Structure 1
């Protein structure tokens, strides 16, 4: 999750099982490097400064939560796609593909609950104005240099980890199973970016 997420992530086990989310791996050979587990070793100068998910939204509307989440996953995908096109590197390609898997999990939940998917087809277009502004800033920052692009990846994944950890607090068992898998994926993504730093 990006920035200070405003919504708890209520996910169903059936979506994760159907989509096979198991740490966000992609089947290509370079993915093994990009997804290998490793403890975070460096701090990003773009480390998240906003507090994670506010406690008062723990019971907010499911539709709002899922709409925000799917655009948040799209933001990560789109940032990595743009920066990967600009700077090259398997880390951006592989993690962008993994973010697609995350979106697929949430899209299945949107369909299950008859919630309209807010995503635009175009890269870098968001209905949530906060996510639009964040996307614009992250792409601008990451366009300065390859090192800055890696820092943007670190920032996105650190923020995801903070938000998912907060969302896990008090989550129902079925939700917690999926959150833990998404969290493991974000930890792997962070480790992959940090190895590039």
Structure 2
């Protein structure tokens, strides 16, 4: 039986198989109407946009949890450990947006306890995590390619998720995207070193 590697998947086929693309694409619907909270204006989001905020929040947790798990498998490779710290900040940034727009994140345990690493509310995110870990177990090189895949996916999803969103969401997603570009660069360097 032949083992599957991350290079066997194209992003489009992989994401379509998980059924997550529609959630992110749905973010283009923009809801009108605003309410005042203190001195800032908060826009009412559509249900689709709220789903997108929660999706991005969970996707950031996938990245962190995959890097924690792969970092435990490949303890000599510091790329996973270095980036998982940054991914924790990404999760918290996405969580702030969820809370600001009334999206309950209390069902998601962000603890670093082993009982909660790799546990997701969204089925598509659970499948993504499971697939990434399966592929990452093949070798260190494949694990690094999983990291590259996650960052490329995050960048594309953040760009799509920002469409039609209020400026605070767009700004946060732009910051997350810049972080992911740095992570992608780190994985590219590690892949080149390992190849």
Which structure is higher in helix share? 2
> Match of 1:144, SS?
coil
Counterpart check, 1:179 vs 2:173:
yes
**Equivalent residue in structure 1 for 2:149, among 149, 155, 177:** 155
Shift of 1:136: 0.7
1:48 maps to which residue? 11
May I ask how many residue pairs the two structures share in their alignment?
154
Distance 1:135 1:179, change over 3 A: same
1:18 maps to which residue? none
**Equivalent residue in structure 1 for 2:184, among 174, 179, 190:** 190
After superposition, the C-alpha distances for 1:59-116 in whole angstroms (9 at most, x for unaligned) are 3424423322221111110000000010122210111111100111122233334432
The answer to whether the Cα contact below 8 Å between 2:119 and 2:126 also exists between their aligned partners in 1 is yes
Which structure is higher in strand share? 2
The answer to whether the Cα contact below 8 Å between 1:70 and 1:119 also exists between their aligned partners in 2 is no
TM-score of the superposed pair, with normalisation by structure 1: 0.70
Shift of 1:47: 4.5
TM-score of the superposed pair, with normalisation by structure 2: 0.70
**Equivalent residue in structure 2 for 1:84, among 71, 94, 106:** 71
1:135 maps to which residue? 129
| Structure 1 unaligned spans of 5+ | 1-43
Q: How far apart, in 1, do the equivalents of 2:176 and 2:10 lie?
A: 20
Q: Bigger radius of gyration, 1 or 2?
A: 2
2:90 maps to which residue? 102
Q: RMSD value over aligned CA atoms?
A: 2.1
After superposition, the C-alpha distances for 1:150-195 in whole angstroms (9 at most, x for unaligned) are 0100100111111122234444333322221111111111110010
> Match of 1:115, SS?
coil
Q: Which has the higher contact order (CA 8 A, sep 6+)?
A: 1
